[in-house]
Structure 1
């Protein structure tokens, strides 16, 4: 009976150079379980009745009102100067009445140097008076080259 001491085997100073595959197998099993769980969810479908063909053309021409707020906070309504806030609110009330389909689109075009307070005040008045089709135009002047 003999014992092999010192030749052939590994010593305490040498490390094991094989990759530990246990974490890789754990990750693979978790991904496999997630795949098995999500496959039944992907096979369920919801029936949707989508319209076929092209929609009919719009028969009613919607007017567009352009409100320009200039650098000195002066306001023009389709090119006509607005004299007072009461005049502006009266004009806004006129386009806020009637059926939703025929109401005018309200485009606000602020100048780059206009006061923020004035622009927000006009937009808040429009919302308060019932204008629902509101947009801001002229944003290209705010793009920095």
Structure 2
């Protein structure tokens, strides 16, 4: 050490990395605020809507059950029907509500051709919504 001279020691070099911890803390606080306020914003407008007769919602879509057993006999809503009666009753159902769904339950032993004939009768009557009902596999 020289006389009158102060030696300086080099300090730590400046840090060039960003400290991410405060950023994460701020972001978590913002997320909590968002989670708390979002449900409040969704239902902030309260309305008393006027009542009118013409605004009733439509009934749930109706359905009819059509069953084909092993012998090929058709049952419409659990009542046995012949091929001619089936076509007439499906046409009457289509006149009442063309959006009526047919829930078709056919036995495994029924030939595919028989199922296709019944589907054709339904389509000809004007019923195009057909649901096939099956049991889940075990």
Q: How many residues align?
A: 86
Matched, 1:129 2:125: yes
Alignment of 1:1-145 (within 5 A): 59-82=58-81, 84-98=82-96, 100=98, 103-138=99-134, 140=136, 143=137
Which aligned segments of 4 or more residues in structure 1 are displaced greater than 4 angstroms?
Answer: none
Distance (whole Å) between structure 2 residues aligned to residue 65 and residue 98 of structure 1 = 12
Structure 1 pair 98–118 and aligned structure 2 pair: CA distance change class (3 A): same
Query: Deviation of residue 68 (structure 1)?
Result: 0.5
Asked which structure has the greater CA Rg, the reply is 2
Shift of 1:98: 4.1
- The alignment partner of 2:120 has SS state of helix
Aligned alpha-carbon RMSD (Å) = 2.7
- Give the Cα separation in 2 of the matches to 1:119 and 1:91: 17
Q: What secondary structure sits across from 1:91 in the alignment?
A: helix
Distance 1:110 1:99, change over 3 A: closer
* CA shift for structure 1 position 72: 0.9
Cα distance in 2 for residues equivalent to 1:117 and 1:135: 17
